[in-house]
Structure 1
Amino acid sequence: MFTTEIKKSLEVLKQEQTLLYPTDTVWGIGCDATSEVAVNKVFKIKKRSESKSLIILVDGLDMLQHYIPSISENIISELNKSTKPTTIIYNNPKGLAKNVIASDQTVAIRIVQNVFCQQLIKAFGKPIVSTSANISGNPTPKSFKEIEATILDSVDYIVNLQREVVNEKSSTILKVAENGEIIVLRN
């Protein structure tokens, strides 16, 4: 079912372009999270300052551990027991585009639960950016129909899936403190 959309999306990602796609939360603007060129395009589309970080999606724990060298057992336990999308802010990532890493050397990463996203990321072999499909400061669209025309016109490719779905859930956001403590920022 997803084969055609994955193939088209892979071409976009490999060419350092942007795509608009459904995730396990809201529609996202995405690109190769290891490409500064592609990430710059996302900031430009959102009219967002690079000082504000972006969320990164990975397909599983193995990929996460490639970019976050040290993940505590507490975090792994939290990820295993989580029943809703959970984004965790990690310290000192490696291998990602410099402009997806916040000035305090942190990055927000979620192991995605959406089947299309999992298959796309697995096929791509690298994490992808996932930032809400809105101009920075405007309300986050809950469905494809709510996405602003300027966003639709700005991305290089729009995935043709789940266009009728309304999704009001956002991810839980946790932060790993320097001492390893897990802090809940949004539940």
Structure 2
Amino acid sequence: MDINTEIHNAYEVIKNGGIILYPTDTVWGIGCDATNEEAVKKIYALKKREESKSMIVLVNGERMMHQVFNEIPEVAWQILDFAENPTTLILDKPKNVAKNLIAEDNSLAVRMVNEPFCFKLMERMKKPLVSTSANISGMFTPKSFKEISPEIIKGVDYVVNLHHEKICDKPSTIIKLTLDSQVKVIRK
């Protein structure tokens, strides 16, 4: 399959409220339209994850980042400019996303991606994309497609047919930034 066919197929599923299994810039992820609360519920159910444990939202650039947050601390842009590896930021006061993605402290984890499939899919969606590791909550994070459990593969509405051979040894770095400029590294 070529990337454009896969983007089209994934988009059709997502726009109808479905969930997909797809390669990200880090690990394989389960995703959906980040503005669709019902689709987000499907992911929580598939992962057997408590809704109090929030998930990451992917964006494909500054414009989409501003769609999701009113205020972005200047240090966020500096971290993204200098990050050598994929970096997820937890920022305060998100907007325009499903309520069940927002953490109890009114924050949201967000990662800007350049990976071609994710980038172009969001370009087509014109919305951010949910990204959570392709595993049952509490189980190990698969490093490749072949490590993903059959329960996850059968539980999604579409499996993207790209990069099945790709192996990734680590998820993104996670840094929490508050509007009052506090910085805390959650995961290196």
Shorter-normalised TM-score: what interval? over 0.9
Matched residues in 1 for 2:179 and 2:95: separation? 16
Q: State whether residues 73 and 179 of structure 2, in contact with CA within 8 Å, keep that contact through their aligned partners in structure 1.
A: no
- Residue deviations 1:106-153 (CA, integer Å, cap 9, x gap): 110000131111111111100010000000010000000000000011
Partner residue, 1:120: 121
TM-score, normalised via structure 2 length:
0.97
Matched residues in 2 for 1:57 and 1:106: separation? 14
Partner residue, 1:49: 50
Q: State whether residues 58 and 128 of structure 1, in contact with CA within 8 Å, keep that contact through their aligned partners in structure 2.
A: yes
Alignment of 1:1-187 (within 5 A): 1-187=2-188
Runs of 4 or more off by more than 6 Å in structure 1? none
TM-score, normalised via structure 1 length:
0.97
> What's the % identity of the aligned pairs?
49
RMSD: 0.9
Q: State whether residues 47 and 135 of structure 1, in contact with CA within 8 Å, keep that contact through their aligned partners in structure 2.
A: yes
- Residue deviations 1:50-109 (CA, integer Å, cap 9, x gap): 010000000011100111111122111111111210000011100100000011111100
Give, as a single letter, the amino acid of the residue that structure 1 aligns with 2:173: T
Give, as a single letter, the amino acid of the residue that structure 1 aligns with 2:24: T
- Aligned residue pair count: 187
Q: What are the ranges of 5 or more consecutive residues in structure 2 without an aligned counterpart?
A: none
Q: What are the ranges of 5 or more consecutive residues in structure 1 without an aligned counterpart?
A: none
Shift of 1:43: 0.3
Q: State whether residues 30 and 130 of structure 2, in contact with CA within 8 Å, keep that contact through their aligned partners in structure 1.
A: yes
